Amino acid sequence: MVIQSNMTSKAITQVWEDTVEVFLKYNVPITEKALQVLVNNNILQILLTELNNVVGSSNATCIEGG
């Protein structure tokens, strides 16, 4: 699974505890709001890239719909 902007920081940290440090680094609160709501668009792509690097996920490791 690739971490995406429509996911909540709370859900992400529940599945991947290692992501908490990334959220702290970018001052993103752990809430039930989607990342696209919480994070400025200028930072969002950087955040998503770093989160996916932490969990070892990328578009290459995932298939559409699964």
pLDDT score of 30:
97
pLDDT score of 1:
60
Instruction: Retrieve residue 63's tokens.
Output: 């298939």
Interval 33-45 mean pLDDT: 95
Kindly tell me if the per-residue pLDDT of 19 is higher than 60.
Answer: yes
| 30 Cβ contact partners less than 8 Å away, ≥ 6 residues apart | 9, 10, 13, 20, 23
Percent over 90 (pLDDT), the chain: 82
pLDDT score of 59:
53
Interval 24-50 mean pLDDT: 96
pLDDT score of 10:
98
